[in-house]
């Protein structure tokens, strides 16, 4: 499939945007100006002011001499740039690949997108008519190459659709400026009588290079498709995504569910064909007022099960506000994983995390209560107790070591040990009494010590001597002494901490 690009040019972007944010300016003669060399120069003019002789580049004083009623306002380039970026984000409903083109243009890679609108002609009409209805003066063209699309948007017929492979013939009647050449090159061409691209397109490359430099050949090659031209999208396209435009705006939850079901069927069919499964999904709903509503889901294991994924999205559909209607649905899978043969087996009776029904149950719990409520931990090869386990996101990750069962460990381990006050009959003996959170615990039974050293390759520090204590009520605790007692410095004795609780 050949690449297809649309170039969009907004000749009056600054003034059009001013009218959008300040409707009271509609139909008035106004200009936007910036200071330069101690004087104010006109940067942009409204159509009404332009028709009365006001031009960009004029000194404001001269412009007011021509038109005393001219309204002059400060031009803010950042505001205009932000307006262009907002337009680019709005165009994401038509294609996932949109790039900024200078201060007043956009480039859209529409390869494989136009069929959703019934063809290139309907696609172009819908795009340009919506922008025009929003109040923007817009010129656009569609071609195989960015260079040819840009040339026709700026110097050809607006709305032109150049058939595939016809960019050579399409460029012949356009002026050299359509190749995006610098002013000094255009001036040379003007002196030599090169008023159209057809005047020099057949001249040997070595002669053009000697006279005009490499830039001319580079721009011409890109426009003709002999050299590839790249764009930098405002948002990286997600490889796995499906779009669904609507003939009429959707305003009901039932309509959203039908659209979601269809998108999931298309996406999951593609994922299944490529041996992939969804780990994260995002449904974007583009409203007619330009706003976007989004909901997302995550799964504990890769899945292309339509029914299961629909149930996860269904929990959040009620949060979508359709407003005056949704005109386009976009389903993306930004995170996917390869699926093994075991995952794809319909009759899975192996149990554990390999059982699809268990993973789907975890997804349902996560969808209702939030992603922070379900955790999975695996053993890790570390001596320090708080480092001996690690949290994992995937259900398929296997432990690198086995759980330690040769020694008893508490059911609940504090993430950070808490200091306690103890009384011991002999310095190296276990405590007979300890105070924790204001409560005194008397210890009739104890076990220990179990010494756990620091891992010198991670950090330096004192060792810990752990004890299992049972208080007068039968509750058991895991406490430790940090470092040894010192007979020489009795006033500098080690501290005690509580680290866990047994069942």
User: Can you list the domains of the chain with their CATH numbers?
Assistant: 1-237 (3.30.70.270), 241-366 (3.30.1490.100), 412-501 (no CATH)
Instruction: Identify which of 11, 28, 14, 27 has the alpha carbon closest to the alpha carbon of residue 67.
Output: 28
Q: CB-based contacts of 306: which residues, under 8 Å, 6+ apart?
A: 261, 264, 265, 268
Asked if omega into 491 is within 30° of 0 (cis), the reply is no
Q: Which of 84, 87, 140, 109 is nearest to 230 (CA)?
A: 109
Count Cα neighbours of 475 within 13 Å in the Cβ-side half-sphere.
9
Q: Do the Cβ atoms of 332 and 238 come closer than 8 Å?
A: yes
Nearest partner of 278 among 297, 263, 253, judged by Cα: 297
Kind and range of the H or E element at 416? strand 412-423
pLDDT of residue 345: 46
- Count Cβ atoms below 10 Å from residue 44 Cβ, excluding itself: 24
**β-pair partners for 392:** 376
pLDDT string in tens for the chain (503-residue length): 679 999 999 999 999 999 988 999 999 999 999 888 888 999 999 989 999 999 999 999 999 999 999 999 998 888 999 999 999 999 998 999 999 998 999 999 999 889 888 899 999 999 999 999 989 999 999 999 999 999 999 999 989 999 999 999 999 999 999 999 999 999 999 999 999 999 999 999 999 999 998 999 999 999 999 999 999 999 888 889 999 988 889 999 999 999 999 999 999 999 999 999 999 999 999 998 888 999 999 887 888 999 999 999 998 999 999 999 999 999 999 999 888 655 544 334 444 445 566 666 766 667 666 666 677 778 888 887 888 888 776 666 777 777 777 788 898 989 899 999 999 877 678 899 999 999 999 999 999 899 988 887 777 888 899 999 999 999 999 999 998 876 666 666 788 999 999 97
CB 53 within 8 A of CB 67: yes
Which pLDDT belongs to residue 488?
Answer: 63
- pTM of the predicted model as reported, rounded to 2 decimal places: 0.65
Strand residues in 90-225 grouped as ranges (E): 97-101, 105-109, 139-143, 160-161
Q: How many angstroms from the chain centroid is the CA of residue 306?
A: 24
DSSP annotation of 59 reads B
pLDDT of residue 483: 85
Neighbours of 325 (CB within 10 A): 16
Looking at residue 116, its pLDDT comes to 84
271 contacts 304 by C-beta, under 8 angstroms: yes
């Amino acid at each position: 499939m050949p690449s297809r690009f649309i170039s969009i040019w907004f000749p009056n972007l600054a003034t059009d945007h001013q009218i959008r944010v300040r409707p009271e300016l509609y139909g008035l003669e106004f200009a936007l100006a910036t200071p330069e060399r101690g004087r104010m120069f006109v940067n942009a003019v409204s159509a009404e002011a332009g028709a009365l002789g006001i031009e960009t580049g004029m000194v404001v004083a001269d412009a007011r001499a021509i038109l005393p009623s001219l309204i002059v306002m400060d031009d803010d380039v950042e505001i205009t740039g932000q307006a262009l970026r907002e337009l680019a984000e709005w165009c994401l409903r038509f294609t996932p690949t949109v790039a900024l083109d200078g201060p007043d243009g956009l480039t859209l890679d529409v390869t494989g997108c136009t069929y959703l609108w019934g063809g290139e002609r309907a696609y172009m009409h819908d795009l340009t008519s919506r922008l025009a209805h929003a109040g923007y003066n817009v010129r656009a063209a569609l071609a195989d190459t960015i260079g040819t699309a840009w040339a026709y948007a700026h110097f050809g017929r607006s709305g032109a659709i150049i058939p595939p492979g016809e960019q050579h013939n399409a460029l012949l009647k356009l002026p050299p400026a359509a190749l995006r050449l610098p002013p000094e090159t255009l001036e040379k061409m003007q002196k030599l009588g090169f008023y159209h691209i057809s005047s020099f397109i057949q001249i040997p490359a070595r002669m053009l290079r000697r006279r005009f430099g490499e830039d001319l050949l580079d721009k011409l090659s890109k426009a003709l498709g002999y050299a590839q031209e790249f764009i930098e999208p405002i948002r990286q396209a997600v490889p796995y995504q499906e779009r669904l435009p609507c003939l009429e705006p959707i305003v009901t939850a039932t309509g959203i569910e039908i659209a979601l079901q269809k998108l999931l069927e298309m996406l999951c069919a593609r994922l299944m064909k490529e041996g992939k499964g969804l780990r994260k999904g995002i449904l974007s709903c583009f409203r007619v007022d330009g706003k976007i509503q989004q909901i997302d889901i995550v799964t504990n294991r890769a899945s292309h099960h339509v029914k299961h994924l629909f149930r996860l999205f269904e929990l959040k559909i009620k949060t979508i506000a359709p407003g005056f209607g949704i005109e386009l649905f976009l389903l993306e899978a930004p995170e996917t994983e390869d699926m093994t043969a075991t995952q794809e087996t319909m009759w899975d009776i192996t149990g554990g995390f390999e059982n699809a029904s268990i993973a789907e149950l975890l997804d349902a719990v996560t969808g209702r209560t939030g992603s922070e409520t379900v955790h999975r931990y695996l053993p890790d090869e570390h001596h320090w107790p708080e480092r001996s386990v690690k949290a994992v996101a995937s259900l398929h990750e296997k432990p690198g070591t086995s759980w330690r069962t040769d020694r008893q460990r508490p059911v609940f381990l504090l993430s950070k040990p808490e200091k306690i006050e103890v009384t011991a009959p002999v310095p190296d003996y276990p405590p007979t009494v300890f105070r924790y959170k204001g409560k005194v615990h008397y210890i009739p039974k104890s076990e220990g010590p179990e010494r756990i050293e620091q891992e010198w390759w991670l950090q330096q520090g004192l060792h810990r001597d752990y004890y299992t204590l049972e208080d007068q009520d039968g509750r058991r605790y895991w406490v430790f002494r940090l470092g040894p007692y010192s007979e020489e410095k009795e006033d500098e004795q080690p501290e005690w901490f509580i680290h866990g609780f047994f069942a």
